[in-house]
Amino acid sequence: MNSLVSDTLPAITADRITIRGGKPLTGRVDVRGAKNLATKAMVAALLGDTPSLLQDVPTISDVDIVTRMLEAYGVAVSKPASGELLLDPANVERAHFEQIDVLAGSSRIPILFCGPLLHRLGEALIPDLGGCRIGDRPIDFHMDALRAFGAIVDKSYEGIRITAPNGLKGANIELPYPSVGATEQVLLTAVRAEGVTELKNAAIEPEIMDLIAVLQKMGAIISIEPNRVIFIEGVDRLEGYTHRAIFDRNEAASWASAALATKGDIFVAGAKQQELMTFLNVFRKVGGRFDIHEDGIRFYHPGGALKPVQVETDVHPGFMTDWQQPLIVALTQAEGVSTVHETVYENRFGFTDALVEMGADIVVHKEGLESITRRVPRRKLEQAAVITGPTPLHGADVRVPDLRGGFSYLIAALTAEGTSTITNLGIINRGYEHFTDKLAGLGADFSIEA
């Protein structure tokens, strides 16, 4: 298959990086559009009758995968300028299952094709889903929501086949948990369903709000009510959009943690205060400093000791699960005992084993910990990591387990005295654009090998 974007994806063909750490990271990095919005906005383009233009698209492999999936369905994808994708759905058709299967193996985005494909083609076929191995990551909320719209879900030898012989009708849906993906599933399906959909217990992450902005530009009627309720009035037709993706909060928070852990000073161009408020509070409590500017945020270590914190991951506006891995590296350098409770995924502390190998004192409690300071003592799947610091880190040979865990290994290796080798680098390229160039710009001492 000839994919324009994959042809221009910059070379992180290297699978191994050797880092000589112990040097503060200083300088500027530019953060572009969020992976977790751009990929969804690309899927939304399938719903339009006319082409869509998405701006500030990061050059990451998740975008590449979605590009190739859209192309498999007949969407013409071109790149009119740097960071732009023009998506023309004029000739959408059924894709060959083999193409989709090969592509889907490394991403969870295919599940979000269901609604748009049902509207356009009357059926959707979803193969086994990929994405980071951070827990079970079931799709029951997605399938229940699609059934509520009138879809029929059948398991076939190829995967899950979803059809809608009588069309899709607006529905009353209450999610058991404010899942980001399931909320997107409902939005992408309800906008063209017949009648009104009421979604209760919806996710309200800034990337969801940005997807709603995209859909509104396309002609959708969506109102956000108090208490996580969203109403969607189905319309007959949607047009293409022109939209600049919201900045990547996860990448911004990752570089901020890198500045703190390495005693550095990083200006994250493109980062905005509003969407990072909860992160900024924790960053300040740990002892990091930040200056908010019009065009970005400067994150720095002011000298002296860092302080321990108690953090619990949560849905927005809580502390994002994607922020905890980079932060934990910085917490290994704080004076005292920090606790991080993970309440979103059931298995997102696996990466800490490698940090322990590098000298960190981290104990993971699989059943969580009782403590009166906890804010969200409600999910069975929680785990707690207790980090005692400060501990000097030393170099080690480690393998990237997942996207955010992988980035935290980069930070740990940059913080550590001595040399570290990190393999399986390709996973980091799923969500961090040009990260080796950015590291070089921040003065990191490293070499990469294929």
Using the rule CB under 6 A, is 282 a contact of ligand EPU? no
Using the rule CB under 6 A, is 228 a contact of ligand EPU? no
Do strands 172-174 and 196-200 pair parallel, antiparallel, or not at all (unpaired)? parallel
Compute the least distance from the CB of residue 386 to ligand EPU, in Å. Answer: 22
Q: Which is nearer to ligand EPU, 177 or 302 (CB)?
A: 177
Q: Which is nearer to ligand EPU, 95 or 143 (CB)?
A: 143
Residue nearest to ligand EPU (CB): 181
Query: For the window 420-449, what string marks contact with ligand EPU as x by the rule CB under 6 A?
Result: -----------x------------------
Using the rule CB under 6 A, is 342 a contact of ligand EPU? no
Nearest Cα to Cα of residue 307 among 275, 340, 276, 330: 330
Using the rule CB under 6 A, is 313 a contact of ligand EPU? no
Restricting to residues 146-205, name those near ligand EPU by CB under 6 A.
Answer: 177, 179-182
Which two structure tokens, joined as six digits, stand for 61?
Answer: 């492999």
**Three state DSSP letters for 57-123:** CCCCHHHHHHHHHHHHCCCEEECCCCCCEEEECCCCCCCCHHHHHHHHCCCCHHHHHHHHHHHHHCE
Using the rule CB under 6 A, is 404 a contact of ligand EPU? yes
Span near ligand EPU by CB under 6 A; candidates 72-80, 318-326, 330-338, 353-361 = 318-326
Q: Which is nearer to ligand EPU, 74 or 135 (CB)?
A: 135
Compute the least distance from the CB of residue 106 to ligand EPU, in Å. Answer: 12
Using the rule CB under 6 A, is 344 a contact of ligand EPU? yes
Compute the least distance from the CB of residue 27 to ligand EPU, in Å. Answer: 24
Compute the least distance from the CB of residue 184 to ligand EPU, in Å. Answer: 7
Q: Which is nearer to ligand EPU, 346 or 445 (CB)?
A: 346
DSSP line for 215-236: HHHHT-EEEEETTTEEEEE--S
Using the rule CB under 6 A, is 135 a contact of ligand EPU? yes
Task: Please calculate the CA angle 4-7-12 and round it to the nearest 5 degrees.
Answer: 140
The residue from 149, 279, 283, 345 that contacts ligand EPU (CB under 6 A) is: 345
Compute the least distance from the CB of residue 163 to ligand EPU, in Å. Answer: 20
- Distance of alpha carbon 61 from its chain centroid, rounded? 12
Nearest Cα to Cα of residue 348 among 136, 108, 133, 134: 134
Compute the least distance from the CB of residue 80 to ligand EPU, in Å. Answer: 25
Using the rule CB under 6 A, is 51 a contact of ligand EPU? no
The residue from 49, 93, 140, 291 that contacts ligand EPU (CB under 6 A) is: 140
Do strands 152-155 and 229-233 pair parallel, antiparallel, or not at all (unpaired)? unpaired
Which two structure tokens, joined as six digits, stand for 423?
Answer: 């393999």
Q: With CB under 6 A as the rule, give the number of residues binding ligand EPU.
A: 26
Helix residue ranges, H only, 170-320: 180-190, 206-218, 249-261, 277-286
Q: Name the residue with tokens 């300040």.
A: 284
Q: Name the residue with tokens 């906890």.
A: 374
**What are the CA-CA distances from residue 202 to residues 40, 144, 166, 222 (Å)?**
16, 14, 26, 13
Using the rule CB under 6 A, is 61 a contact of ligand EPU? no
Compute the least distance from the CB of residue 296 to ligand EPU, in Å. Answer: 21
Cβ atoms 407, 398 nearer than 8 A? no
- Catalytically annotated residue among 5, 57, 69, 132: 132
Span near ligand EPU by CB under 6 A; candidates 48-56, 138-146, 194-202, 352-360 = 138-146
**What are the CA-CA distances from residue 123 to residues 108, 146, 154 (Å)?**
18, 12, 11
The residue from 139, 188, 398, 448 that contacts ligand EPU (CB under 6 A) is: 139
- Distance of alpha carbon 47 from its chain centroid, rounded? 22
User: Is 114 in the active site?
Assistant: no
Helix residue ranges, H only, 262-399: 277-286, 321-331, 352-357
Using the rule CB under 6 A, is 132 a contact of ligand EPU? yes
Using the rule CB under 6 A, is 321 a contact of ligand EPU? yes
Name the DSSP letter for residue 276.
G
CA 184, CA 398: separation in Å to the nearest integer?
A: 35
Nearest Cα to Cα of residue 39 among 95, 80, 96, 77: 77
Using the rule CB under 6 A, is 141 a contact of ligand EPU? yes
Using the rule CB under 6 A, is 137 a contact of ligand EPU? yes
CA dihedral 246, 251, 252, 256 (to 10 degrees): 170
Restricting to residues 242-261, name those near ligand EPU by CB under 6 A.
Answer: 250
Compute the least distance from the CB of residue 173 to ligand EPU, in Å. Answer: 12
Restricting to residues 4-43, name those near ligand EPU by CB under 6 A.
Answer: 35-36
Using the rule CB under 6 A, is 317 a contact of ligand EPU? no
Which two structure tokens, joined as six digits, stand for 440?
Answer: 């070089």
Q: Which residues are designated catalytic?
A: 132
Return residues touching ligand EPU (CB under 6 A). 35-36, 108, 132, 135-142, 177, 179-182, 250, 320-322, 344-345, 403-404, 431
